[in-house]
Amino acid sequence: MSTNTSKFLSYVLRHAPQSIGLTLDGQGWAEVDDLLAKANEAGTSIDETTLRTIVAESDKKRFTLSDDGRRIRAAQGHSVVVDLGQPPVAPPSTLFHGTATRFFDVIMLQGLRAGSRQHVHLSADRATAYAVGQRHGKPAILIVNSGRMHADGYSFYQADNGVWLTDAVPVAYLALTENDVAGGDGK
For residue 162, the model assigns a pLDDT of 86
Question: Model pTM?
Answer: 0.68
Q: Which of 186, 88, 86 is nearest to 143 (CA)?
A: 186
Could you tell me the domains of the chain?
3-74 (1.10.10.970), 95-181 (3.20.170.30)
Pairing of strands 168-169, 174-175: unpaired
| Segment 115-127, tens digit of pLDDT | 777 889 999 999 9
Residue 186 has pLDDT above 60, yes or no: no
